[in-house]
Amino acid sequence: MEDLRIYPIKEVKKLKEFLEKVSDYKLLDIEIENRASLLDDMLESKDEKLKYAMKKLEENEIDEAKLVLKEGNALLVLKIEDVISIRLVFEDAHSVIQALEING
């Protein structure tokens, strides 16, 4: 069985600080699902997706955030109004854990 750990993120201020510096971390991939728009399906590069995601995060409040640790990677899952889902995959889980100040 794979080692899978899930941590809910409640500290919104720390999360926003992390997201402002997301490019400082080893971002492997980003996926965006916006049920209210087809634009997210047209984005091809990681940079385009990241720019779009950051715009959506500036325009909206995050309703749910969790960090999933799996196989040495960190997956940050953000949900906005059950309409937009953003998944960021990072190579270096340790640095993400430290930045978000997660204990566990």
**pLDDT tens, 54-93?**
888 888 889 999 999 988 899 999 999 889 999 999 998 9
How sure is the predictor about 1, in pLDDT bands with cuts at 50, 70 and 90?
very low
In percent, how much of the chain has pLDDT > 70? Answer: 93
Strand bridging mode 4-8 / 64-70 = antiparallel
Question: What are the distances in angstroms from CA 66 to CA 8, 11, 43, 44?
Answer: 4, 11, 24, 25
Q: Is the pLDDT of residue 2 over 80?
A: no
pLDDT for res 47: 86
The average pLDDT across 18-24 equals 87
What average pLDDT is seen over the chain?
A: 87
Cα–Cα distance measured from residue 74 to residue 83, given in angstroms and rounded to the nearest whole number? 23
Query: pLDDT tens across 37-52, in order?
Result: 766 667 788 888 888 8
| Torsion sign (Cα): 89, 95, 97, 101 | negative
